[in-house]
Amino acid sequence: MPKLSYSAEEILADHPYAKPHIEAGYTLHGGFDAAGEYVSPRTLNRWPAIRAWSEALKGRGHELIDSSQQLMVKGYFPNVAQQKLLLEQGLGQTLWDSLTVTGVIEARGKKLATAQAPDFQSIIVDDISETATGHLNKGLLRAHGLDEGGDDVSGQGGHDAMWFAVRDMLFGRNAYPVPEIPETLSRPEMGRLMPQIPPEFEHFILLMMNVLMIEVRAENFFSFCNAVMRDPENFRDRRAAAEHAAELVARIRQDEASHVGYLTAVVSELRSFTFKTADGGRVKGADMIDAIWRGMVQWHSVTNVEFDRAQTRKELTAALATRPQSAELIARFDALATETRERERAA
C-alpha cells in the first residue's frame, strides 16, 4: 500500500545534494545531484505523497479537476515576436519590469509558509487524515511558501530570488528603477459564494483555487521566457547568459509543478467530500465547488487576461511612441499579435 500519512518533517525533507544552487550571487533553494541534474527543494517525500493522494482519490471513484494548460486559451502578452521587436528597439525595460514584478509577487507567496488552514475535518464527514487536504497544515502550505519566498533560517532564496537572478543575468541588477507592483493577482471578492459553510472555510477554498489558477497561468510566462531567452537574435551580447537564464526559468517551472500537483489534489478532494452545513444538513462538495471553479477558471484565463492585455498594450505602445517612426512601429507591434489571435481562435 502506498504511504498516505506524513509528518511535516517528512513533507519538508530535501534530497541529499551533491552541489548547492548559487546563481548570479544569490544562494538559492534546491541543488544538484551527483550527475549535475537540478533537484527541486522539499520534494524527497512531497512528490510521492502528492502522487499517492491523487491516485487514492481516483481509487475512490473521483476524478482530478483539469488544471492543465488547456485552460489557458489565451497566450502571454506581449507574445514572443512582439517582445523581440521591443528588444530590437532598445526597450528591454519592459521585460526587466516583468521579471522584477514576478519576483516581488513570488516573494509575497512566502505568507503561505505561516498560513494555517482551518480545521476542515470539523466540517467534513469523510476522514481526511490520509489526504492532501489533511496535510495542508502538515507541511504542504509551509513548503509552498518557502518555495516562493525563500527560507530565512537557511538563507536560501526561493522563486523570488530566482527571478531576480534571471533578470540580472539578462540586464544587470539595477538596470532600471523598480516598477509599480500590482496589489494582487487573485480574483476580487464577490461576496458569499458557499453560504452552506462558515466563511473562514469558504475563504480558504477560494484561496486554494486562486493560487492554483495563478500557478496554471504562470506556465504561459515560462513558455514566453524560454522562447525569448533562447532566440539567438535576442541578447546577442549576452547569449551565454541568456541561455543560462532560460535554464533557471526551467528550474522554477520544475519547482512549480509540485504546487499545481498538490493544489489540484486538494481542490479535487474537496469536491469529493461531504460537508456538514450550518443547519445540520449535508452537502456534496461538488455541488458547492464546481460552478465556482468554472467561474475562477473563466476569470483567470479570459476575463483578467483580456483586462491585463489592454492595460499592457497601453504601456508598451506608449514606450514605442518614444521611438522614431513610432506610428509604423506600433502598427508592426499590433500586426505581430495576429499569430496569437489565430492560435486562440483555433483553441
pLDDT in tens, 82-106: 999 999 999 999 999 999 999 999 9
Q: Is the pLDDT of residue 39 over 60?
A: yes
Greatest CA span in the chain, whole angstroms? 70
- The three-state secondary structure class of 315 is helix
Give the sheet arrangement for strand 19-23, strand by strand.
Answer: 19-23, 26-32, 38-39
- Residue-level pLDDT at 182: 73
Confidence of residue 344 (pLDDT cuts 50, 70, 90): very low
Residues 181 and 69: their CA atoms lie apart, in Å, by: 26
Q: What is the mean predicted confidence (pLDDT) over 28-52? A: 98
At residue 63, the pLDDT reads 97
Distances in whole angstroms, Cα of residue 280 to Cα of each of 93, 119, 212, 270: 57, 18, 31, 19
Q: Which residues contact 144 (CB under 8 A, 6 or more apart)?
A: 109, 112, 113, 259, 262
Checking if the pLDDT of 342 tops 70, the result is no
Q: How far apart are CA 68 and CA 252, in angstroms?
A: 17
Q: Give residue 41's pLDDT.
A: 98
pLDDT at 338: 73
Q: Which residue has the higher pLDDT, 18 or 72?
A: 18
Higher per-residue confidence, 51 vs 185: 51
Residue 341: what pLDDT?
Answer: 47
- What stretch of H or E contains 64? none
Per residue in 260-301, pLDDT (tens digit) is: 999 999 999 999 999 999 888 999 999 999 999 999 999 999
Residue-level pLDDT at 184 = 63
Whether residue 109 is predicted with pLDDT greater than 50 in this model: the reply is: yes
pLDDT of residue 231 exceeding 80:
yes
Asked if the model's pLDDT at residue 346 lies above 70, the reply is no
Q: Is the pLDDT of residue 186 over 70?
A: no
Query: What gap in Å lies between CA 64 and CA 58, rounded to an integer?
Result: 7
Query: What is the reported pLDDT for 187?
Result: 60
Q: What percent of the chain has pLDDT above 70? A: 95
Query: Across the chain, what does the average pLDDT equal?
Result: 93
Domain ranges within the chain, ordered by starting residue: 75-346
pLDDT band at 257 (very low <50, low <70, confident <90, very high): very high
